[in-house]
Amino acid sequence: MKDVREALFAGRTTEGKIVRRPISPFMIGSAYKPQLSSMTSIMHRITGCALGLGTLLLTVWLVSAAWGDAAFSVVQAFLASWIGILILIGFTAALFYHFCNGLRHLGWDAGRGFELTAMHRTGRLVIAATVALTVAFWVVGFLVW
């Protein structure tokens, strides 16, 4: 080791081999095995950010309606394009995921579901509910459209 700073990141494996420890919070990558609970937590944060960006898109859509027919037609044409629909599907998936995982967090706030089996069950339930709600929403949406 060259200096003290490098020694701070040194650790030993169970076999006694000296290895370089990852810098926290390095949760994704080769240092840690992804777990359902950590991935659902990370996805909750990512979907929260996506909802913020989606809200900006919703604001653009509303403001374009106030600006007049020409501006509204441009935004509507973009949202009706394949990329616009893909963005809207992503937005609704983020919305449903964040909602379902938020309900899971409310259960935790009430002191329920901290057992490992319950965490795995509710994590899988959140993912399944997100897929089901997103698909149902868009099937109905395309039928009405």
- Give the per-residue pLDDT at 80: 96
Whether residue 71 lies inside any domain: the answer is yes
- Segment 124-137 shows an average pLDDT of 99
How many domains is the chain partitioned into structurally? Answer: 1
Whether residue 22 lies inside any domain: the answer is no
Q: Which residues contact 47 (CB under 8 A, 6 or more apart)?
A: 94, 95, 97, 98, 101
Whether residue 28 lies inside any domain: the answer is no
Whether residue 15 lies inside any domain: the answer is no
Give pLDDT tens digits for 3-61: 666 666 777 888 888 887 766 655 555 666 778 998 999 999 999 999 999 999 999 99
Whether residue 7 lies inside any domain: the answer is no
- Give the per-residue pLDDT at 8: 67
What token pair was written down for 71? 């501006």
- Confidence tier at 83 by pLDDT (50, 70, 90): very high
- Give the per-residue pLDDT at 15: 87
Whether residue 66 lies inside any domain: the answer is yes
Better-scored residue on pLDDT, 2 or 123? 123
Whether residue 8 lies inside any domain: the answer is no
- Segment 86-108 shows an average pLDDT of 98
Share of the chain above pLDDT 90, in %: 74
Range of the domain at 126: 35-144
CATH of the domain at 115: 1.20.1300.10
- SS3 breakdown of the chain: % helix, strand, coil, rounded to 5? 75, 5, 25
Q: Residue 86 and residue 78: Cα distance in Å, rounded? A: 11
Whether residue 16 lies inside any domain: the answer is no
